[in-house]
Structure 1
Amino acid sequence: MKGVMLQGTASDVGKSLVATALCRLLWQKGFQPAPFKSQNVSNNSYVTASGKEIGRAQGLQAEACQLEAIPAMNPILLKPSGSGRSEIVLRGERQSTISGMAYRETYYETALQVIEQSLNELNDLADFLVIEGAGSPVEMNLKKREVVNMKVAEMADVPVILIADINRGGLFASVVGTLELLEPQERERVKGVIINKFHGDPKLFAEGKQWLEERTGLPVLAVLPYLPNHRLEGEDSLSLTDRFSSQTNKALDIVAIKLPYLSNYSDMEPFLLEKDTTVRWVDAVEAFGDPDAVILPGTKSTLHDLQFLKTSGLAERMVQYAKAGGIVAGLCGGYQILCEQLIDPDGHDSGVEGYREIGLGLIPGKTTFFNEKTTVRVQGKVAQLPTIDLSGYEIHIGQTVIEKPAPFVIREDGSEEGYCSADGRIIGTYLHHLFHNDAWRSEWLNRLRRQKGLPLSQLNIIEEKQQAYDELAHHLEQYLDWEKFMAIVSEQEREMQ
């Protein structure tokens, strides 16, 4: 199979974005590409149609390829939780929660097996594999048992393109240093370089391009201008800072609580497309202010984050805000925190058997944590507004029971989910991607707009998303030396035959 692996000189150099752009560009040019990342470390996840959990970036890349996402596209997902431990998800299914050292010592051979199995599966699905690496391929303390960079390129037998971020400075040292630290057989596999996040006219980098090519003997395949508003979701908290910090103050002010174990922050990203809405990530009571609404997002460690809210003073401030008539929405772990009581009989969330904690008490319910994990896609309707359809997915350990049922969602099968107060001000739901539903997001925001005498609005972000994939592909095509790129891929394919 044709294929290429995109590795980076560091984390957050833009590997995921370039991989997504390449997926779409290849599809536009008549290939059937498929994305692959052997191992993700992220709490920003995606649920496949079969109810399996993978990294969110590969879910989006599958969409760019016009494919349904499957677990083989991201066979290993590590979800950091409390006390230096991570939940291990193999081919979409939860295995256990263990320390990083225990994972390295016990899962290496298993990791290689699931990677090989997944590569073979994708070989039958696609004719071009776009593989994304993780971090840097020369983390010397991790190289012996790494399963994310050069080991994967070797297993797939594909050429490597190195991506470097010029925005952070130190570009030349990062490229040359990375190449120098590779083993000779690894260095031989690197066939080109892409410079990402360039500010200004790429022609201004002509001398730098020439120097790199002469110094490394590798072609610089593209100098990609910085894209601050690409409209696609980020992969991790590094992306969160970049995406939301560029906002200016707008008419609607929404506070999202920045929890220490924040997960699936992409639930907030649709607000970036609303012209009158600002999302402020707040982790201190001094920054809370007087927002139009507050969203308490998902978390990988509900009880640890509940303790953070209490010690920081944010719990008390949120309760005061709600009692004064404020609008609050809790998503997944945020929903659990809004309940009156949280119980962890076996210590699955807290690490302490029989642990109990009083929640914020804004929702009359009780959450109990169990070992079984729910991962499922959901279709339904808003209970109080049955003309509004909802779709999304649930990823959670724990079940919530409401004292007097007042559901937020009526699922397709007729079952009830979540909580909505009679006046609609307090909402709690396990449904991730809630605000990606255009009709619901518009309804919720228009309530805020009416209160402030602002014009009502409705935005179709589903169309925006597909347009964003196309624009991203066009951006890459403008600056990528396509002939050199395909020559690299074809040469490797001939060597494999």
Structure 2
Amino acid sequence: MEHGKLKPLMFAGTGSDVGKSIIVTAICRILKQDGYSPAPFKAQNMSLNSYATPDSLEIGRAQAVQAEAAEIECSTDMNPLLLKPNSDLTSQIVLNGRPVGNSSAKGFFRQEGRDILRKEINSSFDRLSSKYNPIIMEGAGSIAEMNLMDIDLVNMPMARYADANIILVADIDRGGVFASIYGSVMLQKPEDRRRIKGVIINKFRGDISLFNTGKEIIEKTSGIKVLGIIPYLDDIDIDEEDSVSLEKRNKKYTQGKVNIVVVLLPHMSNFTDFARLEHDSRINLYYSYSPEEIAKADITIIPGSKNTISDLNEIRNKGIDTAIIDNAKKGKSVIGICGGYQIMGMEISDPLSIESNNAFVNGLGLLPIRTTITKEKITQQREFSFMEGEQRCKGYEIHMGNSELIDDKDYMKVAAFDDGSSDGVMINDRCFGTYLHGILDNKVIVDKLVSQYCTLESSDSMDYDQYKDYQYNRLASHVRENIDMDLFYKILNSYD
């Protein structure tokens, strides 16, 4: 079906974590269902949760999820600027999918150099806009950060450049929804205020009809129509952007299940590596930094990290290293992914001080490898066979550092690639490490791990890609049913 060109639409927030990302995901799927060819766009993202594009570059995971909902391949044009925190004070800057250096918050938010970043971001938007219709944009944090408005790259300046209309998203669950909406609107310049064409009240609990008066008050005081009131989502499984959500999840051992603990590292990255495990009926997955809770688990996973040496020192300080090593000695499973793989080795060196001022640190000594942190970042999607099996599996690499064996023994490799190369080291089928993110999205691998502790088959017979597609459709239905679709399309067609 042929459609005319729709106006770009930005979903901006009254604050952080109001649900912009998941609403953009829903809108991308809705528009795809309605015969359009949408694409997501977020000029600047800050996240430790990233993804490798088909052309071996890096973007924020949220935009990869949104592209998947739109049924298109992700690209760096969807997220040209990605900030990956190294610590509370500094972040790695990833521009057009490649790291270009580290910066403090003070250094990043200075005026100098903003025009260069803005030019790159605008070029990305232009390329994306020439291929897709419409562009569904996402703001960052609050739309009304007065101290940052002159140097902002992602909210109103981006909306102006794209000539986008704006839907303001507010989180009623955290309280103060009237003040946050009114303040966010009234703090805008008059020409920017006119771009705000609708409001979405997100994360509503209870009887929506009881909020009818509230809706009228918002429309009267702000002069903007309420596009929809979205009930709180508690049973739709979509990858989330920020690891803050992990704090809400189960952190305890549960009898009668295969207990898998993910060590909750301070700089943990790509926690979506474990999303598939959460809906496997045989598994109780929990995240913990408690040595006691880690000691109870059948399977311990050390996840990826943006600052491997710092996190290794932290787990030593908390006594978590002893719990992990003891689990391995008892014959329980211990698995390292990316930074976790490096942590499981004999030693890590950082001669160029890329991650830390510590030039050298001993690892946990569970794997016979030494790792050197390097400037070069390896970013690529991978297909492989697991433990020399025949079934094809998928994953992706995003890491800075090379790991090599410290002896000449013939260890089994975790993954074998078509070009004859391999990845990872496996001491036995209960102790191994790999650079491959997404390795646990593959059912054959999860079944092999779990079968050592449980004879049951998973009650989930759905292929994981099918499962995710089903969740996108459920999300789209949920949002479609709770917004005014006629008003939504009027806003998309509004060029006033």
Shorter-normalised TM-score: what interval? over 0.9
Alignment partner of 1:177 out of 177, 183, 193: 183
Alignment partner of 1:381 out of 385, 390, 397: 385
Describe the SS at the equivalent of 1:440: helix
Equivalent in the alignment of 2:484: 481
Equivalent in the alignment of 2:494: 491
Structure 1 gap segments, 5+ residues each: none
1:8 counterpart = 2:6: no
Moved more, 123-132 or 96-105: 96-105
Q: Is the 8 A contact 1:262 1:298 kept in 2?
A: yes
CA distance in structure 1 between the aligned counterparts of 2:329 and 2:440, rounded to whole angstroms: 24
Change (3 A) 1:443 1:204: farther
Moved more, 273-282 or 371-380: 273-282
Moved more, 38-47 or 102-111: 102-111
Equivalent in the alignment of 2:400: 397
Describe the SS at the equivalent of 1:448: coil
Q: Is the 8 A contact 1:302 1:336 kept in 2?
A: yes
Describe the SS at the equivalent of 1:306: helix
Q: Is the 8 A contact 2:249 2:286 kept in 1?
A: no
Equivalent in the alignment of 2:374: 370
Equivalent in the alignment of 2:92: 87
Instruction: Report the CA distance between 1:486 and its aligned residue.
Output: 1.3
Q: Is the 8 A contact 1:11 1:136 kept in 2?
A: yes
1:421 counterpart = 2:424: no
Structure having the larger proportion of residues in helix: 1
CA distance in structure 2 between the aligned counterparts of 1:21 and 1:333, rounded to whole angstroms: 32
Instruction: Report the CA distance between 1:473 and its aligned residue.
Output: 0.9
Q: Is the 8 A contact 1:82 1:304 kept in 2?
A: no
Q: Is the 8 A contact 2:54 2:73 kept in 1?
A: yes
1:218 counterpart = 2:227: no
Instruction: Report the CA distance between 1:19 and its aligned residue.
Output: 0.2
Equivalent in the alignment of 2:108: 103
Describe the SS at the equivalent of 1:463: helix
Alignment partner of 2:83 out of 78, 82, 91: 78
TM-score using structure 2 length: 0.94
TM-score using structure 1 length: 0.94
Q: Is the 8 A contact 2:304 2:340 kept in 1?
A: yes
Instruction: Report the CA distance between 1:201 and its aligned residue.
Output: 3.0
CA distance in structure 1 between the aligned counterparts of 2:189 and 2:331, rounded to whole angstroms: 62
Change (3 A) 1:83 1:196: closer
Instruction: Report the CA distance between 1:169 and its aligned residue.
Output: 1.5
Any residues of structure 2 matched to 1:291-302 within 5 Å, and which?
Answer: 291-302=297-308
Q: Is the 8 A contact 1:340 1:362 kept in 2?
A: yes
1:358 counterpart = 2:355: no
Any residues of structure 2 matched to 1:57-456 within 5 Å, and which?
Answer: 57-82=62-87, 84-105=89-110, 106-242=112-248, 251-352=257-358, 355-384=359-388, 386-402=389-405, 403=407, 404=409, 405-422=411-428, 424-450=429-455, 454=456
Deviation track 1:448-472 (CA, whole Å, cap 9, x = no partner) reads 214xxx5555642211101111111
Change (3 A) 1:104 1:198: same
Q: Is the 8 A contact 2:199 2:228 kept in 1?
A: yes
Instruction: Report the CA distance between 1:334 and its aligned residue.
Output: 0.3
Instruction: Report the CA distance between 1:446 and its aligned residue.
Output: 2.4
Instruction: Report the CA distance between 1:240 and its aligned residue.
Output: 2.9
1:464 counterpart = 2:467: yes
Q: Is the 8 A contact 2:84 2:92 kept in 1?
A: yes
Instruction: Report the CA distance between 1:359 and its aligned residue.
Output: 0.3
Q: One-letter code of the match for 1:367?
A: T
1:52 counterpart = 2:57: yes
Deviation track 1:207-253 (CA, whole Å, cap 9, x = no partner) reads 21111111111111111111112111000122333465799876222
Q: One-letter code of the match for 1:9?
A: T
CA distance in structure 2 between the aligned counterparts of 1:247 and 1:8, rounded to whole angstroms: 37
Moved more, 225-234 or 268-277: 268-277
Q: One-letter code of the match for 1:343?
A: S
Deviation track 1:271-296 (CA, whole Å, cap 9, x = no partner) reads 12112322211113243341111110
Moved more, 471-480 or 169-178: 169-178
Instruction: Report the CA distance between 1:83 and its aligned residue.
Output: 5.7
Deviation track 1:254-283 (CA, whole Å, cap 9, x = no partner) reads 111111111001001111211232221111
Q: Is the 8 A contact 1:52 1:376 kept in 2?
A: yes
CA distance in structure 2 between the aligned counterparts of 1:200 and 1:250, rounded to whole angstroms: 34
CA distance in structure 1 between the aligned counterparts of 2:255 and 2:31, rounded to whole angstroms: 38
Q: One-letter code of the match for 1:21?
A: A
Instruction: Report the CA distance between 1:299 and its aligned residue.
Output: 0.2
Describe the SS at the equivalent of 2:380: strand
Moved more, 197-206 or 121-130: 197-206
CA distance in structure 1 between the aligned counterparts of 2:253 and 2:206, rounded to whole angstroms: 21
Q: One-letter code of the match for 1:464?
A: Y
Q: Is the 8 A contact 2:259 2:297 kept in 1?
A: yes
Q: Is the 8 A contact 2:52 2:59 kept in 1?
A: yes
Runs of 4 or more consecutive aligned structure 1 residues displaced over 6 Å after TM superposition? 245-250
Q: Is the 8 A contact 1:250 1:277 kept in 2?
A: no
CA distance in structure 2 between the aligned counterparts of 1:104 and 1:331, rounded to whole angstroms: 33
Q: Is the 8 A contact 2:253 2:293 kept in 1?
A: no
Q: One-letter code of the match for 2:67?
A: A
Deviation track 1:77-103 (CA, whole Å, cap 9, x = no partner) reads 000003611111111111111212212
Instruction: Report the CA distance between 1:410 and its aligned residue.
Output: 0.5
CA RMSD of aligned residues (A): 1.8
Deviation track 1:119-173 (CA, whole Å, cap 9, x = no partner) reads 1101111110100011101122222201111111111111110001111112112
Moved more, 473-482 or 274-283: 274-283
Q: Is the 8 A contact 2:170 2:177 kept in 1?
A: yes
Aligned length: 486
Q: One-letter code of the match for 1:31?
A: Y
Change (3 A) 1:246 1:287: closer
Q: One-letter code of the match for 1:433?
A: G
